[in-house]
Amino acid sequence: MIIFDGDKKVFKLDTNNTSYVMGVTDEGYLGNIYYGKKIDSTDILYALRIDDLPFTPSKFLGGKIDFMDRFPSEYPFSGTGDFRNTCISIKDSTGQEGLELLYKSHNIYTEKKKLAGMPCARGEKTTSLDIVMSDEAVGAEVVLTYTVYEECDVITRSVVIRNISEKEFYITKALSACLNLETDVSDILSLHGSWARERHIQRSKINYGSYVIESLRGEPGHQDHPFIALLSENCNKDYGDIYAMNLVYSGNFIAAVQKDQFGKIRTSIGINPDRFSWKLESGEQFQIPEVIIQYSHNGIGGMTRNFHDFFRNYLLPSKWVEADRPVLINNWEATYFDFDDNKLVQIAQEASKLGIEMLVMDDGWFGHRNADDSSLGDWYVNEEKIKGGLKNLVDRVNSLGMKFGIWFEPEMISPDSELYRKHPDWALSLSDREPGLCRTQYMLDFSRHEVVDYVYGKLYEILSSANIEYVKWDMNRPIAEAASESLPADRQGEVLHRHVLALYEMQERLVNDFPNILLENCSGGGARFDAGMLYYSPQIWCSDNADPIERLMIQEGTHLIYPLSTTGSHVADCPNHINGRVTPFDTRADVALTGTFGYELDVTKISQEERDQIPAQIAKYKKYRKLVQTGDYYRIASFLENGRYDSYMIVSKDKRHAVLIYVQVVTDSNVLGKKLKLCGLDSEKKYIVDGKKYSGNVLMNVGYIIKIAKGDFKSVVIEIESAE
């Protein structure tokens, strides 16, 4: 619900459990008044402290800058007195930067508008608010859009900048939102890592000054993540206050927390202003990405379940949310580049006998690619490897009762390729410099429409040529030297954002042209596991490291925000190809269970003992698949925190069914069993666990004892069923 109290000039946005309140001052400044537990009144303009602030402009014109340095601006602007982190900066045609946005009008409506060229949450059964702010001197109009998702306790925010002047101006900073908090938050929650160890959870203290996480890699990257949350000191997985922001964007981002001289806290998120600018001609507008914000007083777990429900109900492709995803086998770790059609069919023949449902042909099927140093951009089948052509191979795999999927890396070009020899100017590079390689490849210049159309045309030809039912879209290097020969000097700052827009355009075309193809995104593993990509693909390859112990930490961080069903998770070869760790086959499967599930190995070479386990592993996955897709996720214990074991639960919405996963990484000597307090059950219900009956109240307060054999790397999956 959204209401505007015209007498008090107060906007109040209510979800089921929260209220978000803004107010307009006499001068026209829009301030953030309150965000927290639901309140029943709009009579809180006093909390802006206008009467207490020194030098309020309407009372004392000589102190406006002092006023701006304290005012909790809803969308802070730079250059006119707010010296904290701001959201927007514009350079006018004279080269001057300075903005003063004042309230102009607003509109409350029920049909949420789709963002132009950008992914955004759907708006079924929601209410939205547009607040129009303007700076008449610059000729800028800024529309702040809010949409309330009541049952998820989520509000989405986005911004449009319009040039209403007769001259061009340059946007040099365009963040999506900020929150001004005058409350007892003390900690920051964020996600960090590197290739093969993405999204490890980090909790830090808020100190005076600024805390920044960001990416300048042309994608969110393995190292940081476009998410940030502020927590009360006592906040844990079950209770406490938490404020979270998650950006729906797949390029360079910045998220910052700043504690100012007065002890007030401002957190902001959006497109990274470093290496960004956008020329806006008269009459044009610029769409800023959407951000998902939420407040929960039910701790980190409450935040997580709100996000999961929101993504499933409003952002993921609805066709796939509850659809059965195929159990697949990918040939990458099985063969790398050393394969042909017969080898792939041999893998498919053995896999089909075991209940695996899809074969995915990974890198190496096109051009003359036998290593990672050639042929990207040459999207035609290498018939020396795939004899008889792609359709022949797909038909052979289909005849075994298996689906077929294929790998692409559409954004890249190899120096050793026909495409590069014909169009070297299609690669991003700085003038008069030798282009820099990464993984022996360049980035294509997606700011050029002819490049985007050419590449998509090649993908369309391949996908139309055979019964392909799955696409893995990869990106294996960051974007550097982001300069384009096709853009003038004053538009070079647009290259990185134009790349993201072109990426969205291509994936939009793909899912519309091939609605039955299951799209899985990937970027060297999990470098582009973000909300923007999830708008197009219901699942993303979580990490190139499928070692189950490392995956415990990666998946804990991923599932902090994103539903379990979005996580591409496979049973991989052993010793692990990245870290060399040896783990039991059943542990690898149990950890992959709470993801999309598949295999990343050569099923023709593993032992007969392991081969014999696969049908039971697949049956277990299918038994719990709907629960994983739709249930509530509860964290019981964290291996990242305790260094010894990991545990989590998924509970059905009606609380009649649940599954508990426990992984023992390091054996505790002289311990008879591990007692775990379960979560999410109905305290009034009776449950059957391992043939014994317990009350939900007992399981959640006294706990359940896990008995596990001695030895490291042990795992159990325990079914919990209502006895009623």
- Please state, in angstroms and as integers, the Cα–Cα distance from residue 434 to each residue in 188, 290, 374, 417, following that order: 41, 37, 18, 17
Cα–Cα nearest to 634, from 649, 646, 612, 619 = 649
Q: At what angle do helices 585-592 and 608-630 cross, to 10 degrees?
A: 20
CB atoms within 10 A of CB 83: 11
> Residue 54 and residue 66: Cα distance in Å, rounded?
8
Q: Which of 530, 544, 586, 590 is catalytic?
A: 544
Q: Which residues of 253-265 are buried (b: 16+ CB within 10 A; e: fewer)?
A: bbbbbbbbeeeeb
How many residues would you count in the chain? Answer: 724
Cα–Cα distance between 229 and 241 in angstroms, integer?
10
Judge whether 67 and 56 are in contact, CB under 8 Å. Answer: yes
- The continuous run of DSSP H or E covering 213 comes out as strand 209-215
Residues 6 or more apart whose Cβ sits within 8 Å of residue 720: 649, 657, 658, 659, 660, 678, 681, 687, 688, 689, 699
The residue type of 94 is T
* 386-395 contacts, C-beta under 8 A, 24 or more apart: 386/340, 386/341, 387/340, 387/341, 387/342, 388/341, 390/365, 390/462, 390/465, 390/466, 391/465, 391/466, 392/341, 393/341, 393/344, 393/345, 393/361, 393/466, 394/466, 394/467, 394/468, 395/466, 395/467
Residue 224 a catalytic site member: no
Distance CA 303, CA 240 (A): 10
Confirm if 576 and 545 have CB atoms less than 8 A apart: yes
Residue of 537, 540, 497, 530 lying closest to 515 (CA atoms): 537
Q: Which of 14, 135, 474, 586 is catalytic?
A: 474
- Characterise 534 by phi-psi region: left (phi > 0), alpha (psi -120 to 50), beta (else): alpha
How far is CA 78 from each of CA 88, 89, 152, rounded to the nearest angstrom? 6, 6, 33
Name the residue among 30, 535, 566 with its Cα closest to residue 290: 535
Q: How far apart are CA 284 and CA 295, in angstroms?
A: 34
Q: Is residue 92 annotated as part of the catalytic site, yes or no?
A: no
Residue 136 to residue 401: CA distance in whole angstroms = 65
Phi, psi dihedrals of residue 450, rounded to the nearest 5°: -65, -30
DSSP class per residue in 38-92: --S-S--GGGG-TTTSTT-TTT-GGGHHHHHTT--BSS-BSSSS--S--SEEEE-
Chain CA centroid to CA 327, Å? 23
Residue 221 DSSP code? T
Q: Phi/psi of residue 495, each to 5°?
A: -60, -50
Asked whether the beta carbons of 45 and 33 are under 8 A apart, the reply is yes
Sheet architecture: strand order including 632-637: 632-637, 645-651, 657-664, 714-722, 686-689, 692-695
Return the active site residues.
474, 544
